[in-house]
């Protein structure tokens, strides 16, 4: 009988614990989850290893001979080793772990810990590091160190993580700059993969809270049975298995920014409690009685329509208005196609450096093909595709033959209406045949939008929903292409 299947590679973890058996157990669990694990029971040897082979995550016990976990953390930070550190403690007090968090540790877990809680914390740390790596590369590019193909991105001179010269991106950066200094709650909307967390981090970086922690929580990734304890923490003995007091993520965000991603997935039972936190600026741990004051700025994000959820009575209206003091919409990638070339080249440099293939470049035909794709997964899909191409490229020039076969069958339309789909196919063929790509694209967009509006009786609202666009974006397109709405003839 075979054992459980090992999951795909996720990242590297160094486990540091003077108890050898603990290291073996953690190694076995993490390897089955797709992590490459190296274990040490001597902190000095672990530090020597990390100098030459930095890991994504370091999981370190706090109390060890020779060096403590906090000593390890301080040295890693002094040396500039780019890893996320999670502390482990088996002692009655968690004060040492909290001090480590203040020194820069990502989080801490208490022994004995549940496997799913540990994996949840490590998963959040790994995603946090991935985003920081991407942020650094994009910021470096934006600040002119890779200026070969920079585009106009605004005149503020500030560091931004959301690159692009499309008008919608310029407006977005202007809004973020104006909103960042305030303490008002912000609701960020947009499709999956558009960069909602990057926008939230930009708000934090340019706020008065930039010296505090940015605590990101994906409400959809935490099991409902754990989410209350994760958010609010719990007291010792609050429930079976609560052997130690745990500080919640909201409390850890005190003095900083709390980012609630996929807020629409927050269970109804916790929506009222979150509303109270935002109103009263205090929390109560699970099983506790004392109110703990918290000073946080709340930024939430969703790819769902909260207004529709309110109508369906699955999301509290009062919480919606508390979160939606300021709204920010991230445009999908297909609505800013002029930025695709810039982003693709940035990701190519980032992934090329990571895989030791700095010499790679795109052929012009590939870049044109990328500009025609629908990008239902947005910037995240583009990033993943570029990494695939970097890994599989057999020469220094990435050509269209290297693109996945399925991409040749994808159209720039996400419509399911037969008439609109046929128009998209014919328009795409026209774009490929006409030498002037810009003219062909504009012609396609005009014909597509006219057909889409006719299909929906001239209703901009319904047409926008069908195309996966916001009403504002569709109106901008209509205005840019000079489509007079009065000329739209509805076919009976």
Average pLDDT, the chain: 80
* Residue in 235, 278, 272 with CA at minimum distance from that of residue 253: 278
pLDDT at 7: 63
Residue-wise pLDDT for 72-127, tens only, equals 988 888 888 888 999 888 755 567 777 788 788 888 888 878 888 888 889 888 88
Average pLDDT over residues 242-251: 86
pLDDT at 100: 82
Percent pLDDT > 90 in the chain is: 30
Length of the chain: 492
* Residue in 458, 454, 444, 373 with CA at minimum distance from that of residue 407: 373
For residue 211, pLDDT over 90 is answered with no
Residue-wise pLDDT for 319-343, tens only, equals 999 999 999 999 999 999 999 999 9
Percent pLDDT > 70 in the chain is: 82
Q: Which domains does the chain have, with CATH numbers?
A: 11-114 (3.40.50.2300), 164-329 (3.40.50.300), 333-409 (1.10.8.60), 418-487 (1.10.10.60)
| Separation of alpha carbons 132 and 177, rounded Å | 20
Backbone angles phi, psi at 110, to 5 degrees: -110, 140
| Separation of alpha carbons 368 and 398, rounded Å | 12
* pTM, entire model: 0.57
Reported confidence tier of residue 271, pLDDT bands at 50, 70, 90: very high
Average pLDDT over residues 14-43: 88
For residue 414, pLDDT over 80 is answered with no
pLDDT at 8: 64
Residue-wise pLDDT for 132-163, tens only, equals 766 555 554 444 444 333 333 333 333 334 77
Burial 346-365 (b: 16+ CB within 10 A, else e): bbbbbbbeeeeeeebebeee
């Amino acid at each position: 009988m075979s054992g459980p299947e090992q999951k795909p590679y996720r990242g590297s973890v160094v486990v540091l614990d003077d108890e050898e058996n603990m290291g073996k157990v953690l190694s076995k669990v993490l390897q089955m989850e797709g992590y490459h694990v190296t274990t040490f029971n001597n902190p000095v040897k672990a530090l020597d290893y990390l100098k030459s082979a930095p890991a994504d995550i370091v999981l370190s016990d706090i109390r060890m001979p020779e060096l403590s976990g906090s000593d390890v953390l301080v040295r890693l930070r002094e040396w500039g080793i780019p890893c996320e550190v999670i502390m482990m403690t088996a002692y009655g007090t968690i004060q040492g772990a909290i001090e480590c968090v203040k020194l820069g540790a990502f989080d801490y877990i208490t022994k004995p810990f549940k496997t799913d809680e540990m994996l949840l914390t490590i998963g959040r740390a790994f995603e946090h590091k991935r985003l920081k790596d991407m942020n650094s590369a994009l910021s470096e590019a934006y600040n002119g160190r890779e200026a070969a193909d920079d585009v106009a991105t605004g005149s503020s001179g500030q560091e931004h993580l959301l690159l692009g010269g499309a008008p919608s991106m310029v407006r977005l950066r202007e809004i973020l700059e104006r909103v960042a200094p305030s303490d008002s709650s912000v609701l960020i909307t947009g499709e999956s993969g558009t960069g909602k967390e990057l926008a939230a981090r930009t708000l934090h970086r340019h706020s008065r809270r930039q010296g505090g922690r940015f605590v990101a929580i994906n409400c959809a990734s935490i099991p409902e049975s754990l989410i209350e304890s994760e958010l609010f923490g719990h007291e010792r003995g609050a429930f079976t298995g609560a052997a130690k007091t745990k500080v919640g993520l909201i409390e850890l965000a005190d003095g900083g920014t709390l980012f609630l991603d996929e807020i629409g997935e927050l269970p109804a039972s916790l929506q009222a409690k979150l509303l109270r936190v935002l109103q009263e600026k205090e929390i109560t741990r699970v099983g506790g009685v004392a109110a703990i004051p918290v000073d946080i700025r709340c930024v939430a994000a969703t790819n769902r329509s909260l207004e529709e959820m309110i109508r369906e009575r699955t999301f509290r209206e009062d919480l919606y208005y508390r979160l939606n003091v300021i709204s920010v919409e991230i445009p999908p990638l297909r609505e800013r196609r002029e930025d695709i070339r810039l982003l693709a080249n940035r990701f190519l440099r980032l992934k090329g450096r990571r895989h030791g293939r700095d010499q790679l470049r795109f052929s012009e035909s590939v870049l044109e093909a990328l500009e025609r794709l629908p990008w239902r997964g947005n910037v995240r899909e583009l990033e993943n595709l570029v990494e695939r191409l970097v890994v599989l490229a057999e020469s220094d020039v990435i050509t269209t033959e290297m693109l996945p076969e399925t991409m040749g069958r994808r159209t720039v339309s996400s419509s399911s209406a037969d008439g609109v789909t046929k128009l998209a196919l014919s328009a795409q063929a026209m774009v490929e045949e006409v030498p002037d790509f810009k003219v062909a694209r504009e012609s396609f967009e005009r014909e597509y939008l006219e057909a889409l509006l006719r299909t929906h009786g001239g209703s901009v609202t319904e047409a926008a929903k069908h195309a996966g666009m916001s009403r504002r974006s569709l109106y901008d397109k209509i205005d840019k292409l000079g489509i007079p709405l009065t000329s739209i003839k509805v076919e009976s």
